[in-house]
Amino acid sequence: MRCDVLAVGTELLLGQIVDTNSSWLGENLAMHGFDSLSQVKVGDNIGRITGHLRRMLSESDAVIMCGGLGPTHDDLTREAISEVMGVELHLDEDVADVIRHLFSSRNRTMPENNLRQAMVPEGAMIIPQTRGTAPGLICPVVIETESGPVERVVYAVPGVPHEMREMFERVILPDLQQRSGEHWTIASRTLRTWGESESGLNERLDDIIHDLDAEGNPTLAFLASGWEGLKVRLTGRAPDEGAAAALLAPWEKKIREVLGDQVFGVDNDTMESVVLDLLRAQGWTLALAESVTGGLVSGRLTGVAGASEVYRGAVVSYASEVKFDVLGVEEGPVVTEDAAIAMAEGARKVLGADVGLALTGVAGPSEQDGMRPGTLFAAVALPDGEPDRVTSVHVRLPGDREMMRQLSVISALDLLRKRLLDIR
- Residues 12-52: tens digit of each pLDDT: 999 999 999 999 999 899 888 888 999 999 999 999 999 99
- Range scoring the smallest mean pLDDT among 2-16, 234-248, 276-290, 350-364: 234-248
The pLDDT of residue 262 is above 90: yes
- Which residue ranges form the domains of the chain, and what is each CATH number? 3-180 (3.40.980.10), 185-266 (3.30.70.2860), 271-422 (3.90.950.20)
- Once rounded to an integer, what is the mean pLDDT over residues 220-229? 93
Band of the pLDDT at 187, cuts 50, 70, 90?
confident
Side-by-side strand order, sheet with 125-127: 39-42, 3-8, 62-66, 148-157, 136-145, 125-127
Band of the pLDDT at 346, cuts 50, 70, 90?
very high
CB 161 within 8 A of CB 20: yes
- Range scoring the smallest mean pLDDT among 56-70, 100-114, 193-207, 222-236: 100-114
The pLDDT value given to residue 254: 97
- Once rounded to an integer, what is the mean pLDDT over residues 168-192? 91
| pLDDT, tens digit, 9 for 90 and up, residues 298-338 | 999 999 999 999 999 999 999 999 999 999 999 999 999 99
Share of the chain above pLDDT 70, in %: 100
The pLDDT of residue 54 is above 90: yes
Band of the pLDDT at 286, cuts 50, 70, 90?
very high
